[in-house]
Chain A
Amino acid sequence: ETGVTQTPRHLVMGMTNKKSLKCEQHLGHNAMYWYKQSAKKPLELMFVYNFKEQTENNSVPSRFSPECPNSSHLFLHLHTLQPEDSALYLCASSRALDATGGYTFGSGTRLTVV
Chain B
Amino acid sequence: EDQVTQSPEALRLQEGESSSLNCSYTVSGLRGLFWYRQDPGKGPEFLFTLYSAGEEKEKERLKATLTKKESFLHITAPKPEDSATYLCAVRSQTGANNLFFGTGTRLTVIP
Contact = CB atoms under 8 A, between A and B. Distances in A.
Given A98-B91, A100-B32, A42 B103 contact: yes
Interface centre among B32, B98, B104 (most CB of A within 10 A): B98
B8 to A, nearest CB: 14
A56 B97 contact: yes
Interface size class of B (residues with CB under 8 A): 20 to 34
A103 B45 CA distance: 8
A74 interface: no
Contacts of A45: 98-99
Say whether chain A's binding surface is mostly helix, strand, loop, or mixed: loop
Say whether chain B's binding surface is mostly helix, strand, loop, or mixed: strand
B66 interface: no
Interface in A42-63: 42-43, 45, 48, 50, 55-56, 58
A40 B45 CA distance: 19
A111 interface: no
Contact of B34 (A55, A97, A102): A102
A61 B89 CA distance: 24
B96 A97 contact: yes
Given A97-B97, A98-B96, 5 more contacts: A42-B100, A105-B45, A106-B43, A107-B42, A107-B43
Interface of B: 4, 31-32, 34, 36, 41-46, 49, 87, 89, 91, 96-104
